[in-house]
Amino acid sequence: IQFRPQKDWLIGVGSAYDPHSHTWRNLDANLRLKLTKELAVSHWSVYDFVNNRFTYQDYQLDYEAHDWITSLVYRSVQNELYFQFSLKAFPQPAVTIGPNPAQDLIPKNRRNAFVH
């Protein structure tokens, strides 16, 4: 489940259920707050119900430029600090649902193939 209580806030929660043992396996939670146009903070955690402990708990600071994102992450359960650099050079096309009125349903080179 994801929702946005405000424009620059994102909260997400997920869980895994095992139907064979009839137990909840884990709970996954994420909170992301955009502080400025370029700067965001987030917290992500996974709680394991089988072992009754956190398996991940990350605190992250992101700086986003036009073509790249730089992240500083502290993973508290493993006591790790790491730096990540990501390129945004190949954006994915927007996902749409339903017909696109700007696009023909039958390609122009195939229209006359069905007419005798």
66-90, pLDDT tens digit by residue?
Answer: 889 999 999 998 899 999 999 887 6
- For residue 37, is it left (φ>0), alpha (ψ between -120 and 50) or beta? alpha
pLDDT at position 15 is 94
Residue-wise pLDDT for 15-52, tens only, equals 999 999 999 999 999 999 999 999 999 999 999 999 99
Kindly state the tokens that stand for 14: 């997920």
Nearest alpha-carbon partner for 48 in 75, 74, 77: 77
Task: Report the b/e string of 41-53 with b at 16+ CB within 10 A.
Answer: ebebbbbeeeeee
Kindly state the tokens that stand for 56: 């991940």
Whole-structure pTM value = 0.67
Nearest alpha-carbon partner for 26 in 46, 56, 9: 46
> H or E segment at 54?
strand 53-64
